[in-house]
Amino acid sequence: MQQVAQTYREHNRAIWKLGIPLILSNMAQFAIHMTDTLMLGWYDVTALAAATIATSLFFVVFILGAGFAQAITPLVAAANEQNDQVQVRRVTRMGLWLSILYGALVMLPFFWSEQILIAIGQDPTVAAEAHLYLQIVIWGMIPTLLIMAFKSFLVALEHTTFILWATVGTAALNGLVNYALIFGNLGAPELGIQGAAIASVMVNLLTVLLLVGYIMKVLPQYQLFRNFHRPDSEIMRRVFLLGWPIGLTSLAEGGLFSASAIMMGWIGPIQLAAHGIAIQLASLTFMVHIGFSQAATVRAGRALGRRDEPNLRRGGITAIGLSAIYATATSVVFLLIPGTLVSLFIDPAEPDRLRLLQVGITLVMIAGLFQLVDGLQVVVLGLLRGVQDTTVPMIMATFSYWVIGLPTSYLLAFYWNFGSIGIWLGLVIGLLVAAVLLMWRFWARSVRITSL
């Protein structure tokens, strides 16, 4: 069937329609982590440093398993474009299966997290507090992976509004519970960093229940939970083969930032805390690029289902352009008011406030400079996932992050004595190389869509 090429304006409208709820829900989801950082920063600098390194460790493990959930989106989008509800159900179920199996497997090492953190050179006091946090938050690993899987299913079907409101509601609840449990307000005990962990687990469990209830009520035609216990080896293999490169790609990027946190810990607690603030700010703006990337995955997956090369390429150009415009705007903000942004995370009475501000301002300004390349590479990754191309992009990303980016960070920081600034400059270089390689891969891949 001959395809009708949409105009760029139509692509722009479609990406915004799909992307706005995703962007806002990503920001609301991130607000949960941002709230933890803000409140722990107000509570104690050591707690902030501990949460920074603990969440980095948790994220590295989580993001690897999240690849199975993320594989649901392109597979379901393509199957739904062909009106194959059975395939939609099979793919989603096996994505859920793989998420549960992975989550159960990776919980055990976290019970020795203090020893692990000390072994990689972290301050013993920081490691001890991080251990307290991780002993609780690890029980949220499986719920967090399930949330990712259910959201991937809903995103592929373009049911994004409920994701937004559910995430906003649970983010508000997280802030309230944090306020109570971290500081001992509203009649609750003062639990500090452990209170933040308890709040996160509670919110994740509630989110799972909300998503399951919505799917059962609004999308009963997919019968997602009927005979859920039955294995499907053919589809499980397909989800696994598409998902593990996604997970490793995300791990390579997330691991790059976690490794940077570890290196910051070698420099000192003040630098690590300032790094945590800069990462939080950069990650908040990055949520918009994630939304564009998710929308691009769905649009590319649907184009693949139709074998529609012209609209794949036009949609890709539109998504990349939107990301570039947004990145430019946020870079300007980071460069103009870094002190105002950093001060939001620091208690005015904190004895080390001036040192934190000094280091944090510099890092936030550098973070503003890498907004463009970071957003570009993640949007192109979304496009490649949409056409179910994950293995070669994984290799390209891993090379960029770990062969180029991380060694450059280390050399600049410790060999050429740029310190914390050098670590961030290395991140910029690694992301730039990834963006260039992935862009080349997408344009080469898009011209062969009819043969995929």
pLDDT of residue 1: 45
- What pTM, to 2 d.p., does this model score? 0.81
Please, what is the angle between helix 193-218 and helix 141-156, to 10°? 40
The DSSP call for residue 320 is H
145 Cα distance to chain centroid: 12
What's the pLDDT at 450? 52
Q: Up-side HSE of residue 39: CA atoms within 13 Å toward CB? A: 27
Residue 211: half-sphere exposure toward Cβ, Cα within 13 Å: 26
User: Residue-wise pLDDT tens for the chain (452 aa)?
Assistant: 445 667 888 888 889 988 888 888 877 777 777 677 778 877 877 887 888 778 878 887 888 899 999 999 999 998 988 888 889 999 999 999 999 999 999 988 888 888 888 887 777 888 888 888 889 989 989 999 999 999 999 999 989 889 889 888 888 898 899 889 988 898 888 888 888 889 889 988 999 999 999 999 999 998 888 888 888 889 999 999 999 999 999 888 877 887 888 888 888 888 888 888 888 788 888 888 998 999 999 999 888 888 888 888 888 999 999 999 999 999 999 999 988 888 887 777 777 788 888 888 889 888 888 788 899 999 999 999 999 999 999 999 999 999 999 999 999 999 998 988 999 999 999 999 999 999 999 988 765 655 55
Give the pLDDT of residue 42.
77
- C-alpha span between 116 and 121 (Å, rounded): 9
Long-range pairs for 116-124 at CB < 8 Å and ≥24 separation? 116/57, 117/53, 117/57, 120/262, 121/262, 121/265, 121/266, 122/53, 122/262, 122/265, 123/49, 123/265, 123/269
pLDDT tens readout for residues 288-339: 899 899 999 999 988 888 888 888 888 899 999 999 999 999 999 999 998 8
DSSP secondary structure letters along 123-143: -HHHHHHHHHHHHHHGGGHHH
Is residue 321 within 8 Å of 372, Cβ to Cβ? no
pLDDT given for residue 446 in this prediction: 67
Asked if residues 317 and 442 have their Cβ atoms less than 8 Å apart, the reply is no
